[in-house]
Amino acid sequence: MSRSTDDTNSNHPGEQQLLLIRHGQSTANASGVWQGQLDFPLSEEGRRQAATAGRALKGTKISGVYASPLARAFETAEIVAREADFSGEVIPMPGLAERHGGVLEGHTWAEQEARDPEFAEKFLALPEEERWAFAAAETDEEILERFEGALSKIRSRHPVPDGAIVVVTHGGVMRAFLRDRFGPSVLPGHKRTPNASITRLLYDPADPNAAPRLLELASTSHLSREEERQTRTE
């Protein structure tokens, strides 16, 4: 998935560019397990994806790198920072963590259906915004309060734009945030941003309450280029 809504390579003097990166593939992603706030490491594929995302940012001036403290996101951020030649520390931000998934955590959907078919049927019949409370998970409202609070705190640390701000987080919280900011059509159905994709937002630092502009949504072009490069060299 990739959608460009502006010239992502042009300079935007006086504006604050924030790059939202979903973590690379985790071992739970690879096996279809719903992670939530359970801690799973990156798979080898996830580490490769993170390195590719970092190389895609090489040459980009970066003013800071922030990440969810969950291992799959924090390790992704460390790899991205290293490959992008960012010399500063990765700063953990608890507000960037994934949605607490309630009874969904730690199971595949097939396991949920086998364990409690009545729950699974009812869950799927509910509108998305009602499912989370039914599963004893964090609601979108709860997610947005902490996630947007974390982004606001991060942005306040860089009042004078001096390079892109990199934020490594999770598919569930990114989905809630992007749909709230830009409408449900931005990620329709059950779509999430892919692993190691890059979403570019542009903020006006002079107006902390202004909505961001969406420059690019969930770009994975860097992953495709890397696959093509590997094919040519094998």
User: What's the pLDDT score for residue 1?
Assistant: 57
Domains and CATH numbers, the chain: 3-100+139-233 (3.40.50.1240), 102-137 (no CATH)
Position 82, amino acid: R
Catalytic residue among 23, 100, 170, 222: 23
From first to last of its 234 residues, what are the pLDDT tens digits of the chain? 555 554 444 456 578 999 999 999 999 999 999 999 999 999 999 999 999 999 999 999 999 999 999 999 999 999 999 999 999 999 999 999 999 999 999 999 999 999 999 999 999 999 988 999 999 999 999 999 999 999 999 999 998 889 999 999 999 999 999 999 999 999 998 899 999 999 999 998 877 778 899 999 999 999 977 654 543 433
**Annotated catalytic residue 145:** no
Lookup result for tokens 């991205």: 80
User: What's the pLDDT score for residue 210?
Assistant: 80
Cα Rg, the chain, nearest whole Å:
18
**Annotated catalytic residue 170:** no
Catalytic residue among 78, 98, 105, 216: 98
User: What's the pLDDT score for residue 77?
Assistant: 98
Buried b (16+ CB within 10 A) or exposed e, 62-100: bbbbbbbebebbbbbbbbbbebbebeeebeebebbbbbb
